[in-house]
Structure 1
Amino acid sequence: MERRSATVMDRGRGLAAGLEGLVVAAPGGPKQASYAPFDGSLVGEVPVCSASDVRAAVDTARAAQRHWTSISVAERRAVIRRFRRLLLDREQDVLDLVQAESGKARLSAFEEFADVVLTADYYERTAERHLRPRRRKGAAPVLTRTTEYRVPKGVVGVISPWNYPLTLAVSDALPALLAGNGIVLKPDAQTPFTALLMLRLLREAGLPADLFQVVTGPGPDIGPVLIDQVDFLMFTGSSKTGKTVARQCGERLIGFSAELGGKNPMLVLADADVGKAAAGAVHACFSNSGQLCVSIERIYVHTDVYQPFLAAFTAGVRGIRVGPGPDWDIGMGSLISAAQVERVDRHVQDALAKGAQLLAGGRRRPDLGPLFYEPTVLAGVTQDMLLAREETFGPVVAVYRAVDDDEAVALANDSDFGLNASVWSARRGEVVGRRLLTGTVNVNEGYAATWASHDAPIGGMKDSGAGRRHGREGILKYTEPQTVAVQHLLRVAPTPGMSNRTYAHIMKGAITLMGRLPRTR
């Protein structure tokens, strides 16, 4: 395993070499190192961008965007189509670099890869349909021709996190590009090279070199500068930071979309297939080492099936193979950082100290690497424990009994978050799911069913976000609606020689008549 892990790291370092030159930064400035979670080795260094670097990146993208918006959607689609093909050709390279930077298991890296391919395919096929001008009812039948157009925002800022360095760096940028915008991306400081590889592939696919810019450096330093310059912001990260970003966007009156934190519930109803629910829960809780905004952190199980579910679930958790490297049978990889390991362990130890029962895991695994932690299951979690309400964002889940559907729904909704939920049932899943206050609900699946339904919007309620990605909403948010109304023959005003009183009388009659006409849907 060590040799295979080293091979992944060697290939990752090789792919990272030279990519730092794609960052917009003045020469000779400070550098920022990126380290591999698997073994703590150096992946590479990127520039620490200054405020002037960020402003230069936005100015460059803005100048390029003026030409980009003038070309047809069909020409933009051709670029994204070529990018998709290049991505498929470079699958192994992409997976190696994602693993080297993030420490995730191979299957979790592949889920990212597949999502970007599918997102590119969806928006390449549907962009013209979403963006085409639409006729609207005019002020007066026949006399007014009214059309809604979609105008690009200009330059879109994208701030992406470390947990999905591929998907969250490029999947939000693709519809923005197709809508006619320029992009300035700030990837997380821990995972910059995957984003830079995507930039290289987009340029190989024919994207104008200046249209998509990448800036790197600490978020608190360059994030506010980016927000001050762009015309729209897409942010993925914590709810706390998201609220700060939203305030900054609000001060400038620019649009803002965000996917934020979650404390996502799973409900296992009395009529659920216990074996399938337990297997689904294993993947839903521990994919990407639990470092997934939509992963499950709370499970409410009907008392009639609680014991058989718990037995099957804990057996499945204990069977997860944890480790580094590219083997496809490794079920869970590393956490991203020492800070993340400390947060996970603090939640677990706090719960145990206050009386929770440890059913599986609960330990660091330094024998596997510096940042590994066992997949962990706890019962008896109470509201005074950190684990009960705070997002852990790691491989830890709490399991609870529920006496009936009503109690399970009430407990699931008792949260400041509302991102994702999962319901397992033979017959009542959709009915119960619609009672949950979350942006997405998966029935007999953990999170992938909604995430992979690219034609449908996803996002959060409450503290879990604002706006949506995917679907029609995921591309139109990068545009401004513009209404153009062409008036024929008569003005919407008194004609020359007509008194205002006569005009008002005629208009009232016309309005009354229009109100009596049959309604059309």
Structure 2
Amino acid sequence: MSIYEPLESNDSRRHLKLRSPVTLEETGELVCANAEDVKQAIARARVAQPAWASTSMKERRTIVERALKIVLERQDEIIETVVKETGKCRTDAMSMEVFSVADQLCYYAKNAEKFLKPRKRKVHGLLKLMKQLRIMYKPLGVVGLITPWNGPFVLVMNQATQAVLAGNTVVAKGSEVTPYSAKLAEDIYRQAGLPEGVLQVLLGDGETGAAIVNGGVDKVSFTGSVATGRKVAEACASQLIPVTLELGGNDAMIVCADADIDRAADGAWVGSCMNTGHYCCGTERIYVVKDVYDEFLRLILDKGKALRQGQKHGWDEDVGAVFWDRQMTIIEAHVEDARAKGATIHMGGRRNPELPGLYYEPTVITDVDNSMDIMILETFGPILCIQKVDSEAEALRLANDSEFGLNGNVWTKDKDKGYRMASAIDTGSCSVNDMAVSYGIPAAPFGGKKNSGLGQVNGKKGLRGYCHEMPIVIDRFGGKMQNGYPYDAKSAEGMKKLMEFLWVKTPIGRWMS
């Protein structure tokens, strides 16, 4: 049974019936914004943008600080909405959708002015005697923001906050599976005093998102699948507009012989099952050096016995429901492919027979290799795939043998070695002795390599990514232009002699660089 089903309608908009992933019962009807709705939203954003760009950073910061206060005041409502639409456990909803949002809002409110302040840059060489260089950060205009179902509130709030602090207006769309969690972002910012048209969150499906991408915005920030990301990139390229893509992952975990095995086992469970495994930088491949493999597996299986599933546990639930039936199909197919190719399933490996909704049991699989879909594709589920390796060098080779490169983690008591190994993994970011925490650290730029994405979000770089970095060159003294018309052989000969003096006969040119 699908989480959403098309309904017949008497108007020009698509209507979808929504269901709970927890009970599969109907939860309501979604009316999708059509192309005309998108066009009007972008037009409103275009009208609102100049006035918003003219506001001071102090005014923008004040609104973000109000939004932070409102998020904390309405956190119970946020959690209830997210849990109702996704079925994730309540602790994941609090940590990802409330704490993380609050932390990001605080960080950007404090640092945006510093990051975007016009700055002077030194001019090198002889030109430093005659010119001044200043860099300013101008908003791009209207930003299109497309976010997925696995972090339905946080991913809208985080990116929208960066874009509006930079002086842009935003037209966003969350997933059709989690529309009202995304819509909360607009509601909260309006309550905080954000002017009309600065942030609009549309309800809709893939066609709504495509209309935004092709609707004449000035940048697109997209989070989602590789296949859709390629289409978004092609559409943006045809319009010559910038795009940031945060796509899938198949992240590797390396457990060295000198690791704290108990801590590593805890990290493997959380890294693989947090948010029901539905996060792009979740751990999907675990490579364990043979010296500690048996002990690691023993601890994994022992700790796995205590995991609780189902909303009857309330705040004590550890692993929630699968958010979408489409993802359940992928999880089941990957596990069955591994089983058929000789993998050993130690626990789980099936839907939870005691729960009515989309619950997949926390699963531990060994005897895996790269002939199996579960080791080369993104599974996005509560699965631990553990492979024994002879050495750390083999673990690094296997970690890099992937079309993805979003995140990873290395476990060792030798932090210097951990740093060296992390830097050797061909991935967008990496953690040492922790699961993937880079997205949760606002100062860290976040983005993938290979099929995991294009560009980076978050931090100074992410915030500046919503701006055009504009250099302005100012003449210091005025007077006659040094290289003005008319050209003549005498001035050309003089230029040759100057170049020889600067970079051949003397080191002056290098000193001035």
Same fold (TM over 0.5): yes
Identity fraction in percent: 35
- Taking the aligned partners of 1:237 and 1:489, their CA distance within structure 2 comes to 53
What CA deviation, in whole Å up to 9, does each residue of 1:28-68 have, x standing for no partner? 85533332211123333332111111111111011101110
> CA separation in 1, counterparts of 2:512 and 2:490?
30
- Distance in 2, Cα, partners of 1:326 & 1:255: 45
Alignment of 1:129-278 (within 5 A): 129-138=114-123, 140-219=127-206, 221-228=207-214, 229-278=216-265
The aligned counterpart of 2:431 is 442
Structure 2 residue 32 is matched with structure 1 residue 45: no
Aligned residue identity for 2:323: I
Does residue 469 (structure 1) correspond to residue 457 (structure 2)? The answer is: yes
| Matches of 2:91 and 2:489, distance apart in 1 | 74
Residues in 1 aligned to 2:194 and 2:18: alpha-carbon distance in whole angstroms:
27
Number of the residue aligned with 2:468: 480
Matched, 1:373 2:365: no
- Measured in 2, the distance between the counterparts of 1:384 and 1:336 equals 28
Please, which of 384, 388, 396 is the counterpart of residue 375 of structure 2? 388
In 1, the alpha carbon distance for the partners of 2:487 and 2:402 equals 62
Question: Which residue pairs with 1:419 in the alignment?
Answer: 406
| Structure 1 residue 492, shift from structure 2 partner | 4.5
**Equivalent residue pairs, number:** 493
> For the Cα contact (< 8 Å) 1:324–1:368, is it kept in 2?
no
For residue 58 of structure 1, what is the aligned residue in structure 2?
42
Q: State the SS of the aligned residue for 1:140.
A: helix
Cα offset, 1:509, TM superposition: 5.4
For residues 137 and 410 of structure 2, the distance between their equivalents in structure 1, rounded to whole angstroms, comes to: 38
**1:93, distance to aligned residue in structure 2 (A):** 1.1
One of 64, 67, 78 as aligned partner of 1:94:
78
Aligned amino acid, residue 475 of structure 1: L
CA distance change for structure 1 residues 499 and 62 in 2, over 3 Å: closer, same or farther?
closer
Q: Does 1:77 align with 2:61?
A: yes
Moved more, 363-372 or 60-69: 363-372
Map residues 289-304 of structure 1 onto 2, 5 A cutoff.
Answer: 289-304=276-291
Q: Which runs of 5+ in 1 are unaligned?
A: 1-25
Q: Is the 1:153–1:479 contact (alpha carbons within 8 Å) kept by the matching residues of 2?
A: yes
Contact 1:81 1:121 in 2 (8 A): yes
C-alpha distance in structure 1 between counterparts of 2:32 and 2:16, whole Å: 6
Residues 152, 118 of structure 1: alpha-carbon distance in 2 compared, 3 angstrom cutoff: same
Q: What letter corresponds to residue 347 of structure 1 in structure 2? A: H
Cα distance change of structure 1 residues 259 and 201 upon mapping to structure 2, 3 Å threshold: same
Asked whether the equivalents of residues 153 and 184 of structure 2 are also in contact (C-alpha less than 8 Å), the reply is no
Distance of 2:212 and 2:322 partners within structure 1: 28
Provide the C-alpha distance between the structure 1 equivalents of 2:487 and 2:355, rounded to a whole number of angstroms.
88
Bigger mean CA offset, 140-149 vs 203-212: 140-149
Query: C-alpha displacement at 1:194, in angstroms?
Result: 1.1
Q: CA deviation at 1:491?
A: 5.1
**Which residue identity does 1:435 align to in structure 2?**
A
Q: Check whether the contact 1:136–1:148 (CA below 8 A) recurs between aligned residues.
A: yes
Deviations 1:296-319 (A, max 9, x none): 011000000000000001221222
Q: Does 1:454 align with 2:442?
A: yes
The answer as to whether partners of 1:32 and 1:217 remain within 8 angstroms in 2 is no
CA RMSD of aligned residues (A): 2.0
Q: Give unpaired runs (5+ residues) of structure 2.
A: 1-9
Aligned to 1:409: 396
Contact 1:105–1:326 (8 Å) recurs in 2? no
- In 2, Cα distance between the equivalents of 1:455 and 1:400? 33
Contact 2:14–2:34 under 8 Å retained in 1 = no
Distance in 2 (CA, whole Å) between partners of 1:491 and 1:110 is 65
Indicate the residue corresponding to 1:125 in structure 2. Answer: 110
Counterpart amino acid of residue 107 in structure 1 = T
How far the C-alpha of 1:495 sits from its partner, in A, is 5.6
Contact 2:33–2:202, Cα closer than 8 Å, also in 1: yes
Superposed displacement of residue 505, structure 1: 4.4
1:124 Cα deviation after fit: 0.8
Shift of 1:504: 3.4
Tell whether the 8 Å contact from 2:146 to 2:173 is kept in structure 1 after alignment.
yes
CA 1:490/1:401 → structure 2, altered by over 3 Å: closer, same or farther?
farther
DSSP-derived class of the 1:118 partner: helix
Q: Secondary structure at the match of 1:184?
A: strand
Contact 2:349 2:362 in 1 (8 A): yes
Larger deviation: 503-512 or 223-232?
Answer: 503-512
Matched with 1:288 is 275
Task: Provide the rounded CA distance (Å) in 2 between the counterparts of 1:322 and 1:494.
Answer: 75
For residues 319-369 of structure 1, what are the alpha-carbon distances to aligned partners after superposition, in whole Å with 9 as ceiling and x for unaligned?
211112572221011001222212111111121122110111112124223
Q: CA, structure 1 residues 27+66, in 2 after alignment: closer, same or farther (shift >3 Å)?
A: farther
Normalising by structure 2, what TM-score?
0.92
Which of 81, 91, 104 aligns to 1:107? It is 91
Spell out, residue by residue over 1:379-416, the C-alpha distance to the aligned partner (whole angstroms, 9 max, x if none): 11133322121111111121001111110000110000
Query: What is the identity, as a one-letter code, of the residue corresponding to 2:244?
Result: S
1:124-159 per-position Cα deviation (integer Å, ceiling 9, x unaligned)? 111111111121234722421221111111110110
What is the alpha-carbon distance in structure 2 between the residues aligned to residue 349 and residue 171 of structure 1?
A: 37
C-alpha deviation, 1:222, in angstroms: 2.2
Per the alignment, residue 279 of structure 1 pairs with 266
3-state DSSP class of the match of 2:430?
A: strand
CA offsets per residue over residues 231-286 of structure 1, 9 Å max, x none? 10001111111111111111111101011111111000000011110011111110
Contact 1:262 1:464 in 2 (8 A): yes
Residue identity opposite 1:334 in structure 2: A
User: Residues 74 and 520 from structure 1, CA distance in 2 versus in 1: closer, same or farther, beyond 3 angstroms?
Assistant: farther
Q: Where do residues 270-349 of structure 1 align in structure 2 (5 Å cutoff)?
A: 270-324=257-311, 327-349=314-336
Query: In 2, distance between residues paired with 1:441 and 1:213?
Result: 34
SS in 2 for 1:217: coil
Check 1:447–1:500 CA distance in 2 against 1; reply closer, same or farther (3 A cut).
Answer: same
